[in-house]
Structures are given as C-alpha cells and as structure tokens.
C-alpha cells in the first residue's frame, strides 16, 4: 500500500528541486502552505559581491565550502577496498570554474537569504568541490527560490513560476559580472550547474555569453538536470545559437548536459526531463562517459553514508560481510558497477544508467538516488538527486583535458 504522507513529502521535495520545463507546475498534489504576507515589500537591494561572505567558494580560502575531504574508498567487485587520496585542489589551475547550485535552501521564505546553511555547504561538497583539482573554484551565494517557496507556488499557482527569472537570476548575473570584472583576468572558465542553477545559467548563456565577445573565454558549460533543446540530428541551435554540444573531451566552447534515468525505470509519459514542446527539436543528451557516442563506464563518486543533495537515503552495505579495513572515508567509488549511454524512448531523450550488480560477488548490487522509496518512487524525476555524483570523475577528467585544449588554442 502506498504511504500517502511519504509520497506527498517526496512530491514536495521533488517539485522543489526544479521542473523539467523550466517551470514549477502543479502537476502533483502538495501539502498546504503557510499563509503568505499580503503587504507589498520593497524591492530587495542588489548584493555586494565584493564582500567575501557572498561567496561559498573562492580560490585559496581555507574552510570554505570547497575546502573538503575528497578521500575515497574504491570498492572493487571482489570486495577489495583501497583508498584514493590523490584529489587535491590545484592552486595553480590554468582555468576557472563558476558554479550555480540547485534548489536546496531550507529557509522558510520564498527566496533564500544570503546566509548559507548546511544545505548549501553540502551541495557544494557533493557537486562542485572536486572540480578544484582542475580549475579555480567560484561559487556565489544567491537568493534562490527555496524549497518552501516552490511548495507555495505549487499550492497557489497552477501556472508555475520560472526558475530562471526574478531575484535568483539577478543575483547570479550580478555575481557573474563581478567575477568577470574583478577575478577572471581573461582566463578560460567552465560553467557548472544543476537543476535551478542550470535553468539560470541557460538564460545567462543565452543573453550574456552566446554570440558575445566573452564567449571566447567559455571552456565549456556543464548544465545538468535541465532541458537544452537542439534541432533533431544537430549539435547546435535551439536553446543556444552558437554554443554546440560537446562531442569530445578536447572540444572547447561546448555544452555537456543530461538528465539521468535508470535502465530499469525509463522516463514515463509525464517525465519532467528529456522532452521539448517543439516537434522539430529534441532535448540534448551528452554522455560524459562517452562524449563521442555509445556506452561508457561512469566514474561515480557517491557519498559513503547515502547523503544526496537534499536528503540521506538508506543504503545497503557497500560490501557484504565485515569490511576489512572498514569504510571510513566520506566517498565511495564503484568501478565497473555503472555504465551509461544517451538513448531515447517515446517520451524523452536521456542518459540511461545501467547498474551491473552481481549477486555472486560481495559488492553492493545497486545504488540509491531515486526520489521516494522503492517501489513508490517518482519515476518522472529519474536519478535527479545524484545526476552529478554519477559522472563526477568523468566530468573532472574532461575539464582537465579541455583546459589543456583551451591553453593550446590560446597559444
């Protein structure tokens, strides 16, 4: 029997992450919100991005959101455990990375404040800090639409609200312009985002970068958990006029994008990702494990305790029987367990993730990452909670290769 309270909670969390059309829509029931204040409020003042407190990450700072432990236990199929300790921030990285995080704020207001809470710190740890091995990391705090804000929208406005318009976009644009004027110094930059952050950067690229002189500094854009439209059979056009999809790790000025779904739970008719309204276009999918096409091995970095960007999921032991030595690292990597390919069904184009669990070996046979608990998961969201974790190692490796290719072009 379906646990209605649990499903409603999953719906609220899911709807609060982002909607696949760039709009949060009332397609699902939601719990009643608190009453909103009706008195008009004065427009908020712009943030001062010269203040270090307005940045979660900036290069060289100790103790900020990107200064985390990347130590990983590699769990082989035969149960052998080894530690990986090689991931370190590179203070001399040749390029920059600029990150916009997804909807995770637990503030009880429609838009978040500028005081980061553990949710903002955790999402940077999950999705961005590891890029510091290849680039100098910049992550602004912004007044995003909160989990509570989108819950209220669901209950009061069936038409939805654009995630890429409003205070949240204005803040990111201001942070981007401050970064360009004061920190970039003509360096190449990778844009990184997920969910609400990706919708915001979709607009920023379209209006502020695509076809503008600053496009020459775009090493790549990694925009996950969103929808980017391209004409069917083509790599450019649609959402962006002159920013193509990445087809190799040495290509620069291009986009990596996907929404991930299990091979055993394909996008349903009401999928929130992977489809566009224009019949002549399709949702773009680029596979970080095989940018040139086909299937490839995902180099995932998964939280050893089951934590995702918004919750902690119940996980099975990574190895059956006593682990020797015990897993005491923040992260786990599972080589050979996960592969992916870009594919389509009648509802969507998407990144299909296959889990190659083997009951005969001692390693865990599945991963967590769905919204809800099996069998009552929200299939239309896919593996949204771990979109980035699934290919973190692949993405960081690609950025390293793109940095070299960008430097060669500049020479």
Q: What are the E-state strand segments in 232-274?
A: 254-256, 260-262
- The answer on pLDDT for 295 being more than 70 is yes
The mean pLDDT of 326-333, rounded to a whole number, is 95
Note the pLDDT tens digit of each residue in 30-63: 333 334 444 566 789 999 999 999 999 999 899 9
* Whether the bond into 325 is cis, omega within 30 of 0: yes
CA 21 to chain centre: 16
Label the pairing between strands 331-333 and 302-303: antiparallel
Strand partners, 342: 351
Q: CB 141: neighbour CB atoms within 10 A?
A: 24
d(CA 382, CA 271): 8
d(CA 306, CA 335): 18
The H or E element spanning position 281 is strand 281-283
Q: CB 97: neighbour CB atoms within 10 A?
A: 27
- The answer on pLDDT for 159 being more than 60 is no
Note the pLDDT tens digit of each residue in 346-387: 999 999 999 999 999 999 999 999 998 878 899 999 999 999
Query: Which of residues 35 and 236 earns the better pLDDT score?
Result: 236
First-to-last alpha carbon distance for the chain, in angstroms, is: 64
Q: What are the E-state strand segments in 291-348?
A: 296-297, 302-303, 331-333, 338-344
Instruction: Look at residue 40 in the predicted model and tell me its pLDDT.
Output: 65
Q: What is the DSSP letter of 253?
A: S
- The answer on pLDDT for 151 being more than 60 is yes
Instruction: Look at residue 41 in the predicted model and tell me its pLDDT.
Output: 67
Q: 252 and 216 in contact (C-beta within 8 Å)?
A: no
* Whether the bond into 408 is cis, omega within 30 of 0: no
Q: How far lies 229's CA from each of 187, 193, 274, 314, in Å?
A: 28, 17, 9, 35
Q: 198 and 240 in contact (C-beta within 8 Å)?
A: no
Spell out the domain ranges in the chain.
Answer: 4-28+61-410
Token code pair at residue 252: 């620069």
Q: 56 and 140 in contact (C-beta within 8 Å)?
A: yes
Round the average pLDDT of the chain to a whole number and report it.
Answer: 89
* Least-confidence region, from 50-59, 223-232, 305-314, 337-346: 305-314
* Least-confidence region, from 38-42, 74-78, 229-233: 38-42
- The answer on pLDDT for 232 being more than 90 is yes
- The answer on pLDDT for 11 being more than 50 is no
Instruction: Look at residue 138 in the predicted model and tell me its pLDDT.
Output: 98
d(CA 65, CA 116): 10
Closest by CA position to 132, among listed 218, 201, 59: 59
User: pLDDT-derived band of residue 411, with 50, 70 and 90 as boundaries?
Assistant: confident
User: pLDDT-derived band of residue 23, with 50, 70 and 90 as boundaries?
Assistant: very low
d(CA 210, CA 287): 23
């Amino acid at each position: 029997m379906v646990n209605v309270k649990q499903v409603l909670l999953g719906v609220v969390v899911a709807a609060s992450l982002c909607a696949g059309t760039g709009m949060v829509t009332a397609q699902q029931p939601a719990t009643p919100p608190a009453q909103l204040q009706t008195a008009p409020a004065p427009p908020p003042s712009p943030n001062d991005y010269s203040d270090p407190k307005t940045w979660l990450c900036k290069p060289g700072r100790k103790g900020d959101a990107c200064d985390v432990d990347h130590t990983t236990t590699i769990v082989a199929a035969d149960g052998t455990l080894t530690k990986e300790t090689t991931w370190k921030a590179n203070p001399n990285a040749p390029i920059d990375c600029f990150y916009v995080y997804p909807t995770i704020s637990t503030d009880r207001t429609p838009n978040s404040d500028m005081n980061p809470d553990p949710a903002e710190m955790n999402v940077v740890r999950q999705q961005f800090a590891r890029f510091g091995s290849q680039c100098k990391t910049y992550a602004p705090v912004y007044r995003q639409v909160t989990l509570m804000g989108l819950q209220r929208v669901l209950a009061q406005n069936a038409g939805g609200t654009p995630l890429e318009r409003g205070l949240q976009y204005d803040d990111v644009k201001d942070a981007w312009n401050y970064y360009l004027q004061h920190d970039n110094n003509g360096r190449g930059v990778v844009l990184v985002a997920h969910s609400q952050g990706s919708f915001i950067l979709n607009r920023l690229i379209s209006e502020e970068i695509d076809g503008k002189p600053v496009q020459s500094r775009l090493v790549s854009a990694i925009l996950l958990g969103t929808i980017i439209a391209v004409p069917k059979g083509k790599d450019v056009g649609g959402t962006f006029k002159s920013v193509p999809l990445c087809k190799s790790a040495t290509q620069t000025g291009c986009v990596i994008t996907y929404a991930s779904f299990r091979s055993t739970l394909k996008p349903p008719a009401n999928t929130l990702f992977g489809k566009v309204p224009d019949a002549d276009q399709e949702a773009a999918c680029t596979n970080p494990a095989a940018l040139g096409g086909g299937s490839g091995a995902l180099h995932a970095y998964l939280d050893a305790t089951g934590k995702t960007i918004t919750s902690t999921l119940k996980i099975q032991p990574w190895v059956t029987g006593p682990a020797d030595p015990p897993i005491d690292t923040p992260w786990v990597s599972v080589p050979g367990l996960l592969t992916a390919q870009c594919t389509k069904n009648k509802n969507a184009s998407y990144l299909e993730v296959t889990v190659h669990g083997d009951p005969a070996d001692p390693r865990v046979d599945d991963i967590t990452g769905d919204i809800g608990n099996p069998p009552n998961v929200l299939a239309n969201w896919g593996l949204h909670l771990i979109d980035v974790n699934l290919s973190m190692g692949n993405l960081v490796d690609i950025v390293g290769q793109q940095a070299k290719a960008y430097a060669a072009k500049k020479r």
